[in-house]
Amino acid sequence: MDIVISGASKGIGRAIAEEFAKDGHRLFLCARNYDVLGQTAHELRTKFPAAEILVMAVDLSLKNEVNNFVSWCTQNGSPEILVNNAGAFMPGNISDEPDGNLESMMLTNLYSAYYLTRGILPMMKMNKRGHIFNICSVAALKAYEDGGSYSISKFALDGFSKNLRYELRTSGIKVTTVFPGAVLTESWRDFDNSGKRIMESKDIAQMINAATKLSVQAVVEDIIIRPQLGDL
C-alpha cells in the first residue's frame, strides 16, 4: 500500500511512518529539513527492511513545493492513504501576538492540507478508494490559554475536514479528523514526563493505523485522544 505522510521527520509524523512501515508499506515522506528527514528514513529502512521509504524535502507552506511533492508521489506510486500531519505552533493571544502569526500558521496548518489533498484526490477518485487523515488538535474543540492563531488554524482545518468528509462520502474515500491532546513531541521538549502525564506519539499512530483496518462500509470520522488525566 502506498502511504503519503507530511511532516514525517519527527514527532507524531515519524511515529505514524514507523507504524505503517512495520507492515512493509511503501511510504512517501516529506518534511522541511532534509537532514532530519534523511536520518529518519535511514533508521526506518534499517529497522523495517521490507518497507520502501521514499523522502522529499518540502516546505508545505509554499504551494509550488506542495505541487512538486504531489507530482513526485503520483508519478512513483498510487497513494491510498494520505496523512496531513505537517503543522506549526506559535503560542500567543489574538490581541497581542506577533503580526504574521495567523498567516504563517494558516499556510502550514490549513493550506498545506488543502493543496496536498486536492493533488492526491484525483488518483484516489480514479481508484475509488482511499483514506485521508487530517491531524488537527484539541485546540480546535475549544478556546484555551495562548491558543491565538494556532487555535484558529486548527478550527479551520477541522472545518476543511468536515466538508471533505461530506463531499467524499459516496466516493469510497474515507476522511478522519484526529484531535490529539498533549503529546510528547518537540513542542513539549522541556516537559518532564517521568510521571506519564502526557501521551506518546505512538499512541496517535496506533489509533490511525487501527482506523484503516475497518470494513469498507465503516469510517471513523473523529478521533479525540487525550491524556488520561485530561488536558494541561
In one letter, which amino acid is 71? S
Residue 150 is among the residues annotated as catalytic for this protein: yes
CA 67 to CA 20: how far, in whole Å?
24
- List the catalytic residue out of 34, 115, 150, 166: 150
**Residue 12 CA: distances (Å) to CA of 38, 207, 230:** 17, 12, 19
CA 39 to CA 52: how far, in whole Å?
15
CA 217 to CA 123: how far, in whole Å?
20
CA 149 to CA 105: how far, in whole Å?
7
Backbone angles phi, psi at 109, to 5 degrees: -85, -25
Q: Which residues are catalytic?
A: 150
